[in-house]
A and B are shown apart, each in its own frame.
Chain A
Amino acid sequence: QQQVKQSPQSLIVQKGGIPIINCAYENTAFDYFPWYQQFPGKGPALLIAIRPDVSEKKEGRFTISFNKSAKQFSLHIMDSQPGDSATYFCAASDPYGSARQLTFGSGTQLTVLP
């Protein structure tokens, strides 16, 4: 049972484009929504995170948009660069669940062409 559904599975954009990765969730108790970036041969690393009391958060070229009523959140990468080519994972955390751990989406492999 996948509690966080991520799309698309892969994405190819030209340099300067704005890739958008979407995630949807069912558990309304989720209260923390991070995005992780993973380069080949490396472990995932935190990129940006949002809590449900705000609708948008920006850090540099990366923006999370959050829609609580639709139970969806997305990552936008402005002015994408070839160095942004990586796998991106959305995640969510439920403070009341038995595990209270991060539940990850299935990942999106982003390729930014020069």
Chain B
Amino acid sequence: DADVTQTPRNRITKTGKRIMLECSQTKGHDRMYWYRQDPGLGLRLIYYSFDVKDINKGEISDGYSVSRQAQAKFSLSLESAIPNQTALYFCATTQGWNTEAFFGQGTRLTVV
């Protein structure tokens, strides 16, 4: 089983719909992240969490919200999806600073 699991892997949704992307990890790491990948833009940080009680906005948090339900679970929500949120979304975990980040396999989201 993967250390970082994202569900769903693919999703097509309509403009204005609420959608949740889920991430769970079995590595026991304290830090979890949500990134968005767009062609030519690399990976941009949406939100990050250092522990269950600590949530922080990243570079591009507008239009997104998150929930850290447990140390192992970190969900990303789009309250009202719009087409320019069509992208590949990745969840990642680390343990401490300047250490290896472990990524999930990604969720390809299409907003029509």
Contact = CB atoms under 8 A, between A and B. Distances in A.
A65 interface: no
Interface in B67-112: 90, 92, 97-98, 100-106
Interface of A: 6, 9, 31-32, 34, 36, 41-46, 49, 89, 93, 95, 99-102, 104-107
A101 B48 contact: yes
Contacts, number: 55
A99 B98 contact: no
Chain A residues touching B, majority SS: loop
A41 B103 CA distance: 12
Given A9-B40, A99-B56, A104-B42, A45 B103 contact: yes
A102 B92 CA distance: 11
Contact of A106 (B41, B48, B90): B41
